[in-house]
Amino acid sequence: FEQNQDVLETYIECNIITRTQSVGDVWIEWVYELDLDHEVFLVDGNPLFPLNNMPDSPELFLECVGLDSYGHRSYSLSTPGKHRYNWKSPPPKVDDSVIDDYNARQPVPSHSKMTIVDLLQAPASAGSRESARIGLYEVLVGEIMQAWEIGHYVRLLEAVPDRTEIPRELLPLGLKLIKVSVARMVFSYEKADEYLVLPELEDLRIESSPAAELEEFSWLAPDICMQIVTHLDDERNAKKVVLGLVDQIILRRQSGNFAYGILFSFFHAIVVQVDPNNEFKSTTTLQFLPNFHSTSPSTPGILAVARLGYHCFTAPKTNGVPSTLPSHHFLNQVPLEVLEHIAANLDPADLESFRAVTPLFEPATDALLRYAYVENYRLLNVVRASPVVFERSESPDVIIHLFKAFSAIVPSDGTFVPELRVGNRARGAFSFSFPFAGETRKVAYEVVKHDSVDSD
């Protein structure tokens, strides 16, 4: 190496050898890399094959280079298992004293392996309004799954040894992925998820985020705290971070109330509940992001986080501003049933103004604010969900859901309830932003009649 140092420096100066990862463009059709640390062969920036077990012929090599369900470079599904990379890092060691502490504070083993239904004491099946929120959440997660950054950095995340090495590009996205499930779901073309303002994102600058910020906990709501971690699929590491999250909740939550925590590693999630006596329960480790080769948009983790968000959703109060209306004003005498009927026919953007008239109006809008909205359409239920499909000649058809909907500005004759198809190949679009260089993605939707929808 020392004998060739001058040659190496010349190559670096001439950009023949570069420390910057190349990307495909007009002049570069393919990018091949050798990761000697993990002994993995990469194509177009994504890991594909182990260096010690590459496809053993040019023909097999070409067959094994493919795309996943979301359009990212990957090994093909026909690739033999022995030729598929595996650079997953081993879990960090956890001291026995941590496990002893966990077992002392959680003496009931079943309380760490609960279903989200048992944890929340929720109905076994989600109602129509909740199902619509879950369905739209699946659409949005699927939309983010198409981003190049997700396809690239989530694969890099597999190899990180602990949370201090989580790619900085993923930190604000992790917050966004969970925040969208607990916030008000109102989306329009001009305003990208205006109800998802995250002060935390202003502090998580990708270029300068110090490793210490990974120790921070994010409070997404007064009763929901989250932390981004790694290796939730390892029982000892899961117990360690559960204890850390519980301690943070006990320290910060409003006394006397139930509070919840979400441990999130992109691959997995754990939901934690802390009761007023500081005793805790948690779900088992749940898969969150779908496998890149999966054809299903649903995972247990997405469902659990969505159900938690719906369970804990609280309509925003009117900033504590007292009503200026005199107590004898007629608006304070309007029956709740009348107010609910008025609110149900308002544009979703007007609900906040309506509830701000007087605190007595708030109960009439609480239920409506729990719905998911696309433009002026209130999503009433999921009619059908499609599998994930990718075609090389087209953009990915990632997660098209069909929803029954209601709109005050689209009159119904009583026989036709509007249905919204939300997915890629549709005529309209609403905005959904995520923190990759401030990118805003347009999520397509269109209004259809049930009998006009393809049956596939």
pLDDT number for residue 1: 46
Instruction: Tell me whether residue 93 is exposed, middle or buried, using C-beta atoms within 10 angstroms of its C-beta: 0 to 12, 13 to 18, 19 or more.
Output: exposed
Q: Which DSSP category does 322 fall into?
A: P
pLDDT tens digits for range 244-297: 999 999 999 887 889 999 999 999 999 999 999 999 999 999 999 999 998 888
Residues 376 and 347: beta-carbon distance below 8 Å? yes
Q: How many CB atoms lie within 10 A of CB 75?
A: 23
* pTM summary value: 0.83
pLDDT number for residue 3: 61
pLDDT lower than 50: segments of the chain = 1, 194-214, 319-321, 390-398, 413-416, 425-427, 437, 450-456
Q: What's the chain's Rg over C-alpha atoms?
A: 25
Instruction: Tell me whether residue 58 is exposed, middle or buried, using C-beta atoms within 10 angstroms of its C-beta: 0 to 12, 13 to 18, 19 or more.
Output: exposed
pLDDT number for residue 452: 36
Distance CA 316, CA 314 (A): 6
SS3 call for 166: coil
pLDDT number for residue 195: 45
Q: How many CB atoms lie within 10 A of CB 320?
A: 6
Residues 185 and 403: beta-carbon distance below 8 Å? no
pLDDT number for residue 201: 34
